[in-house]
Structures are given as C-alpha cells and as structure tokens.
Amino acid sequence: MDFGRADGLANVVFKLPATDPRGRDALARGGGAGVVRVGAPAWSRRDWLGKLYPTGTRARDFLREYARRVGAVELNASFYAVPEPDLVAAWCRDTPESFRFSPKLHQGMTHERALLRAEAAAADFAARFAGLGPRLGLTLVQLPPYFAPDRLRALDGFLGALPMAAAVEFRHPGWFDFGALRGDAAAVLARRGAATVITDAAGRRDVCHATLTAPRVMVRFCGNAGHPVDLARIDAWADRFSAWRAGGLDELLFFVHQPDDVLAPELMAEVVARFNARAGLALPALRLGDPAPRQLRLL
C-alpha cells in the first residue's frame, strides 16, 4: 500500500487522537458485541506458502486455507474488476459463514465518476455481491485525494442509492480537523448509516482520525515492514477497541497492510496476539511457519 508511506519514521507521532465525543451516539446504537475480524488485502499470495499456507498448497485452495485462519479480507480486487456471480459462489463454498468479504467499490464509481450518476453501477455492484449473503461485510468506499469537501452532496446522494452497508475512507486533507472528521461529513455518514474508515499510516497522520458514525468501524493499519514501533501501535489500537466496545461497538474490521504485503501474515499474527492479551479476546491464534505440511506419498 503506497498511500501514506513515509520516507522515515524518526519524526512521526503515532499517538492516536482522542475519540471524537460525537461518536458516543453512534456507539449507543450498538449492542457492544465487540466482534473483531482481522484480515489482509488479498489471499492469492504464493509468498505466504510455508508460513500462512501449508507448503504445497495449490493456488485454487489459497482462499480456503486463508479463511481457516483469518476472519476477513479487504477485497481490493473489486476496485479493478467486479467479479462474476459464479466466482462469488465459489468464494462462498470456500469460506465459513462467519468469514467476511469487504469489497472495495469499483474505481469507475469512486475515481472516474466521482460518485456522480453512478446509481446504476452501484446497483449492479451490489447485485454481484448479493450471493455472499452473511459473508458480505462493510463495502469500502475509498474516495480519491481530489474528492474534496465541496463534493459532500455527491457523497450523500450516492450513499443513499448504495444498497450495501458502507464504510467511507476520505483522503483529501480538507475532510479532517484536529484528529476528527468535519462535522458535516460525519453527519452525512451517520444519517446514511455508513461507518468510517480510519487509516493509520505513517505519512498521513490526518487520516488517522477518531470519529465514529456507526457502531461498526474499519481500520486500515499500514505497517512499516517489521519496525518495532508497529507493536506499540497495535497495543494502542487494542486499548482503543476496549474503550469503544465498552461504549457499544459491535464490530471492528482490522485490515493490515505492509509495503509489499509479504510480511502481512506476521503483522496479522501480532494483531491477534496483542488484542487477545490486552482486550481479553479469544481470537484463534495465528501460528505461522507451515501450519500443516503435506505428507509426501511414496509411489
């Protein structure tokens, strides 16, 4: 993930901003289930063989092995191409009902049309993913850096036409104000039932805001290729989750990114272990190293 990458970390202040008090009403609408699902932006990674996947796993079995160990996926592939229904049906066969797909809205709607006159495309996108049933998580509406606050009306209208539960990621600096979202943007998301996306990246600390607009939230955590500071950052998120759960949070989707995602399994394993330790969760431990090596068969 290139967005928010920093040349160095020496002068980066990673402290999370104080929770926006306006989010209390959003949390109050939840039941405090406090479900956490950790995931990565893909599963088709041959460089995860021998650590997340057993050595010898076939590419067609990657999703099945991924879903046995991980609770969700940020489906970046849908940003470039919307899958056909038969492919979505295959994904269902390879995953349990507890698994969640969070598809990224296609770039034709967010980046090419800037959400204008995209209602038909939104309906088609939703129809393609309807087959996921309970496996469909929050849809990531990633707005481009040039989508400025003067386009709020377009966002409002689009969210009203999108028949999917959404989480919105803002990137233009004008959407943020001292660790929080602008009030008008937060109000639109809350009224439309949309969640916020919080992106924790070294090079863009403004997008690591602390505004909640629904009792669900998506965090995109950008690691620094194994730098020790990432462990302290994960601890801070575990503590923040505990506070939000006490306020009524129902679900946290926590997606990890690395500069090339080779080390994403290691980062996911740390997230699971540290959330379990600090937030009292019982997520299945993510053990790496060749989880179930295949036995050689003598012919």
List strand residue ranges (DSSP E) for 223-269, in order. 251-257
The yes-or-no verdict on residue 212 having pLDDT over 80 is yes
pLDDT digit string, tens, across residues 267-286: 999 999 999 999 999 999 99
Mean pLDDT of 229-257: 98
- Measured in degrees and rounded to the nearest 5, phi and psi for residue 128 equal -65, -35
Alpha-carbon separation of residue 3 from 51, 112, 137, 191, 222 (angstroms) = 27, 18, 23, 28, 9
Residues in the chain: 299
| pLDDT reported for residue 67 | 98
* Predicted confidence (pLDDT) per residue in 152-183, tens digit: 999 999 999 999 999 999 999 999 999 999 99
Q: How confident is the model at residue 114 (pLDDT cuts 50, 70, 90)?
A: very high
Which structural domains are found in the chain, ordered by start?
37-222 (3.20.20.410)
**Percent of the chain at pLDDT above 70?**
97
pLDDT at position 1 over 80: no
| Closest to 254 (Cα-Cα) out of 26, 65, 36 | 36
**249 has a pLDDT exceeding 70:** yes
| Mean pLDDT calculated for residue range 99-121 | 96
Q: Looking at residue 292, what is its pLDDT?
A: 56
Q: Are 263 and 223 in contact (CB under 8 A)?
A: yes
Q: Is the pLDDT at 108 greater than 60, yes or no?
A: yes
pLDDT classification of 295: cutoffs 50, 70, 90: very low
Arithmetic mean of pLDDT over the chain: 94
Position 276 scores a pLDDT of: 98
Q: Is the pLDDT of residue 296 over 60?
A: no
Over residues 187-213, mean pLDDT: 97
What letter would DSSP give residue 56? T
The percentage of the chain sitting over the pLDDT mark of 90, rounded to a whole number, equals 93
DSSP 113: S
Torsion of CA 4, 195, 35, 132, to 10 degrees: -100
pLDDT at position 19 over 80: yes
Residue 291 has pLDDT above 80, yes or no: no
Is the model's pLDDT at 297 over the cut of 60?
Answer: no
Q: What pLDDT is recorded for position 50?
A: 96
Helix (H, G, I), strand (E, B) or coil at 150: helix
**Confidence band for 254, pLDDT divided at 50, 70 and 90:** very high
pLDDT tens-place string over residues 33-76: 999 999 999 999 999 999 999 999 999 999 999 999 999 999 99
